[in-house]
Structure 1
């Protein structure tokens, strides 16, 4: 059976940490699948979140709006065949990309984060990586991330499982 593996570091060939600076939180997961889909298509599959995640986002948005943090509606989702730098890739803004990786980011009052989807193509299979980096702007970023972190990990594993199903 194929599994989702948590890595201890950023994949060596990843461009996600370029010019990032201090990293306060990092996680990276990988899964091995058979696919010839483009990196853009893989990203779209990964970020098709389950309904229960959409409800969590609604609750999060309701709570953080009180504190003046950014909120996103599921109605604002942008799906495309190609995500150029500067465009929204499903939820987040693309800040860098190449043929094998798309790096997205968002900056808010409390923290700055990046997430990337990367593919390492082999002869018989592909390894898909999903990596997240976070830098806290203040103590409020750390406080915000305390309850978010366990949900983040559950959500990441859930969306990576979608790749195994496709």
Structure 2
């Protein structure tokens, strides 16, 4: 699925090496986009945490940074306390509005941006998990070759943890 036009990442996806979007309808209680992301991160399944641990172990030997785990967020910090430029789990906060949060991780090999866009529909909402990757060199392409199949399993599985509509 392509990045929704309403997303901040829509234009950023132009000329990207990789982009996708997964969606889920949820019960909506006026939660902000960053609250949705924090809920997803805090409910990271064990098998995803294991895969991230394996990723970190392998890529740190190849000169990439150890990102930690998606679930590595302080439990006592409120969503409203995060500031642009601050780390939120494995990502850095780029922007945060009520309806969309944009996070990124960049290195010399690739630039990754993710967003969680909320489209309210009364007591329900559609959550769009968007990912855009720009590669900077051949190593970034090789990395994406191995990561892409896992990404296409991990993101939908992470969305399943959100409350049903």
RMSD: 2.1
1:118-157 counterparts in 2 under 5 A?
118-157=117-156
CA distance in 2, matches of 1:77, 1:89: 8
Aligned to 1:3: none
Is the partner of 1:133 in helix, strand or coil? strand
Query: Where does structure 2 lack aligned partners over 5 or more consecutive residues?
Result: none
CA deviations 1:92-141 (Å, max 9, x no partner) are 10112222100001111211110001101112311101000001111111
Q: Size of the alignment, in residue pairs? A: 159
TM-score under structure 2 length normalisation: 0.87
Instruction: Return the alpha-carbon distance in structure 2 between the equivalents of residues 75 and 123 of structure 1.
Output: 30
How many angstroms apart in 2 are the aligned matches of 1:126 and 1:138? 38
Equivalent residue number for residue 51 of structure 2: 56
Task: Report if aligned partners of 2:113, 2:133 keep a CA contact under 8 Å in 1.
Answer: yes
Q: After the TM superposition, which segments of 4 or more aligned residues of structure 1 sit over 4 Å from their partners?
A: 17-21
> Which 5+ residue runs of structure 1 have no aligned equivalent?
1-6
Between the two structures, name the one with larger relative contact order (CA 8 Å, sep ≥ 6).
Answer: 2
TM (normalized to structure 1)? 0.86
